[in-house]
Amino acid sequence: MVPAIAEVERLVARAAAAGIPPAGKSWREGLEVFLADLARSRTMRPGARERTEAFLVETLRARFALEAWHAAHPAAAATPVTRPLIVLGMPRAGTTFLVNLLSLDPQRRMHWNWEGNRELPPAEAAHLHDDPRIAVRVREVDARIESGFLPLNHHVERGDEPTECFWQMQQDFKSFSLLIHTQVPDYFEWWLHHADMAAAYAWHCRYLQVLQSAAPGAWTLKFPSHALAVEEIIATYPDSRIVYTHRDPIKPLGSTCSLNAHPLSMTNSDVDLAMVGYQVSGILAASAQRMIAARDRHPDHAFHDIHYRDFIRDPMATIRALYAFEGLELSDVVAQAMEAAITTHEAARGHAGAHLYDLADYALTEATVDRQFGDYIARFDIALERR
């Protein structure tokens, strides 16, 4: 681990070159493990390692800046994050579509893609839709779409849309999103089985405290892999309301494998697809198991289930049930905006084309999926989507 520690110090020095001193400790172990794997990689294409290091430096710089903000604004930093709505569960189960619809309601405070790693200064509520940082991130995302790095028939977050919580989790170096640079098997095992996720969610809360200092509101958040840490979420946010999205794992599994393999193939000359299948199936299976265990331990916590089939069949019925769960009023104006967005979304899906993948490419079969997810399918009476 000594070489990785030396690499950490080199990247920390680069991040601190802007004059903001390093701070905090919980980010360090994950970065060390990740860098040790990165050093062993022999498949990265020319320039890919340098781009990954630049991303790591940018992430560290954002983390250190937020730590400095906390030190300089202790009163604002102490404001609690109350009653967040957190969407988690099976990926590829309509979560992006759901949260994009919810973002049309001004009652909600969304975490916007353009805020990620550019959190400071915290945007004021009046400028959440015209902040200059929006145009910058929109151009960056559009360039990735044009390059083919982000195919439109995959999961794509536009620069001015709500984002997932990978920004917060990346800044503590405990995130699913770190698996797409090159294959990092030791980091994967550490993150899934050994990482201190309580510390990660403590940082998640501190991150939100910065953003809500200038634009307060009821947080609506989303990240499917939050399901790995429901216990830590409940400990950090005891008044949270947790929405679990359900779908036959066969679809989320194949789609997520493809989503991970695509950026890996763009930055690496060789990708072990069986490893991709092992990792993705391990994440989704652990997510289901830990979610079930947490719900059994916390039967009085506020959980709400959304089934993908029901959501796609009648999106507005699903939305209205969610609002009833939250105790919120869905105004006629917002409902009309959502209905218009549903029509636009359906047209856009047809234009993007189907996302094609094959489980066999990732050394997975329906039988292995059923062995891993049989209890989950039975527990929640999941509608199967088999050929």
| pLDDT at res. 3 | 61
**Which conformational region is residue 24 in: left (phi greater than 0), alpha (psi within -120 to 50 degrees), or beta?**
left
Helix 2-15 and helix 48-72: axis angle, to 10°? 60
Longest dimension (CA), the chain: 60
183 forms bridges with which residues in the sheet?
Answer: none
Residue 197, CA distances (Å) to 33, 83, 344 in order: 15, 20, 38
Q: Give the whole-angstrom CA distance, residue 313 versus residue 311.
A: 5
Tokens describing residue 386: 């088999």
| pLDDT at res. 355 | 65
DSSP for 217-260 reads -EEEEE-GGGGGGHHHHHHH-TT-EEEEEE--THHHHHHHHHHH
Q: Which of 58, 281, 274, 45 is nearest to 181 (CA)?
A: 45
Asked if 49 and 38 touch (Cβ cutoff 8 Å), the reply is: yes
User: Is the CATH number 3.40.50.300 carried by domain 2-379?
Assistant: yes
Q: Give the whole-angstrom CA distance, residue 367 versus residue 106.
A: 45
Tokens describing residue 97: 């579509």
Q: Which of 158, 130, 129 is nearest to 144 (CA)?
A: 158
Can you give the C-alpha Rg of the chain in angstroms? 20
- Give mean pLDDT in consecutive 10-residue pieces for the chain, a chain of 387 residues: 76 93 95 96 97 97 97 94 97 94 98 98 97 98 87 80 98 96 98 98 98 97 97 98 97 93 96 98 97 98 97 97 98 98 82 74 94 96 89
| pLDDT at res. 2 | 47
Q: Quick one: DSSP state of residue 24? A: -
The kind and range of the H/E element at 306 are: strand 302-307
Q: Where are the domains of the chain?
A: 2-379
pTM: 0.95
| pLDDT at res. 1 | 46
Q: Give the whole-angstrom CA distance, residue 366 versus residue 136.
A: 43
Q: Give the whole-angstrom CA distance, residue 239 versus residue 306.
A: 20
Asked if 310 and 322 touch (Cβ cutoff 8 Å), the reply is: no
Q: How far is CA 130 from the centre of its chain?
A: 24
